[in-house]
């Protein structure tokens, strides 16, 4: 999974790719919980580009997108939001896969 480095990169990916942004932080235990299985999720849903967004580096973006809990996921295709799985709750592999199947 690539890491978001700039707002320009966010805009480009959002507008040009079928992309899922995973909002996370190093200090978040629920974010670390999903790390071991995210590689399998990415393989299973390889039609998406997955991008990790560090909440602390992109706090303004999180505010714009109404992301106040992590880990959270937002999907875009051609600049249009196609789905969101946003909450402060721990997420299981099954819950993430179920979300991805709906978009």
Cite the active site residues.
28, 31
Taking the chain, what is the end-to-end CA distance rounded to the nearest angstrom? 19
Q: How far lies 33's CA from each of 13, 37, 44, 51, 103, in Å?
A: 26, 9, 19, 17, 23
Segment holding 8, helix H or strand E:
helix 7-16
Q: Provide the CB-side half-sphere exposure for 58 (13 A, CA).
A: 26
70: nearest Cα among 46, 87, 47: 87
């Amino acid at each position: 999974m690539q890491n978001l480095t700039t707002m320009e990169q966010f805009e480009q990916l959002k507008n040009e790719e079928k992309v899922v942004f995973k909002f996370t932080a190093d200090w978040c235990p629920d974010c670390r919980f999903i790390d071991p299985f995210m590689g399998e999720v990415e393989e299973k849903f390889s039609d998406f580009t997955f991008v990790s967004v560090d909440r602390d580096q992109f706090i303004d973006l999180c505010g714009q997108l109404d992301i106040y809990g992590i880990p959270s996921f937002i999907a875009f295709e051609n600049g249009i939001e196609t789905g969101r799985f946003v909450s402060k709750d721990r997420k299981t592999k099954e819950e993430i896969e179920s979300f991805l199947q709906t978009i």
